[in-house]
Structure 1
Amino acid sequence: MFGGGGMNPRKMKQMMKQMGIDVTELDAEEVVIKTADEELVFSDAQVTRMDAQGQETYQIVGEPETRELGAGDDEEDADADDGAIPESDIEIVAQRAGASKDEAREALEAEDGDLAAAIARLE
């Protein structure tokens, strides 16, 4: 927008404020962009909101993970309905209890998918 390549960030912020542009850093955990064919998922992205004359613009900086449309949370819900343990739950239990994924899966199955009980079982 402005070619301020070598400009002091503080001076740049001051100039933008004079022009009525407000910049805010957002503490985003995840950003998902859905297209007709795929989803772009940004984890730990840096998100900035710029408000200029009532128009909000968002800037996302980070490396996206690409996944096929519909391969997100809906898949985990379907697994849970089938009685299968979601992979994310296995990873959480394994990490918290310091166990392998196989041990975490067995503990989750024994505790009917209860994360806290599975972690307690492994500790």
Structure 2
Amino acid sequence: MFGGGGGLNPRKMEQMMEQMGIDVEDIEAEEVIIRTDEYDLVFDNAEVTKMDARGQETYQVIGSPEQVESGAAGGAGGGAGADDDGSAIPDDDVELVATRAGVSEDEAREALEDNDGDLAAAVGDLE
């Protein structure tokens, strides 16, 4: 990030970032999935750091991903494809929206369907 032969002391770097209004948070992620049209990149045990610079969030993922077929990567509980009820909304998304908005999974699924699967819009509608 900041060049230099010996680098900066991590403590000094943290102080400088704080002075610039940048908050840094380590996230204990079990798995990170990046979905593309052609494939999924699955990071197991990745190091994830979130930086918030005056409301602009940036996530850094460090690790070695496994490339798998598009849509083949799933979270806990199975694949990310269609649910048993035929919905195209992944269970993981429903659980996330339900938790964030403090509503039932049925309400979360309905909000996701109304918003074409857009997580942020679904949570926004429910809050």
Check whether TM > 0.5: yes
1:69 matched to 2:70? yes
SS in 2 for 1:23: strand
Gaps of 5+ in 2: 83-127
What are the Cα deviations for residues 79-115 of structure 1, in whole angstroms up to 9, with x where unaligned?
A: xxxxxxxxxxxxxxxxxxxxxxxxxxxxxxxxxxxxx
**1:49 & 1:62 partners in 2: Cα distance?**
15
AA matched with 1:6 = G
Contact 2:71 2:80 in 1 (8 A): no
User: So what's the TM-score if we normalise by structure 2?
Assistant: 0.55
Q: For 1:16-95, what aligned pairs fall within 5 Å after superposition?
A: 16-73=17-74
**2:45 & 2:27 partners in 1: Cα distance?**
11
Gaps of 5+ in 1: 79-123
What are the Cα deviations for residues 25-80 of structure 1, in whole angstroms up to 9, with x where unaligned?
A: 000000000011000000000000000011000000000000011223466999xx
AA matched with 2:49 = T
Q: Work out which of the two has the higher radius of gyration on C-alpha atoms and give 1 or 2.
A: 1
Partner of 1:9: 10
Change (3 A) 1:16 1:75: closer
Structure with greater proportional helix content:
1
**2:58 & 2:49 partners in 1: Cα distance?**
8
SS in 2 for 1:66: strand
The RMSD of aligned alpha carbons is 2.3
Report sequence identity in percent: 62
Query: Would you say how many aligned residue pairs link Structure 1 and Structure 2?
Result: 78
**1:52 & 1:76 partners in 2: Cα distance?**
32
User: So what's the TM-score if we normalise by structure 1?
Assistant: 0.57
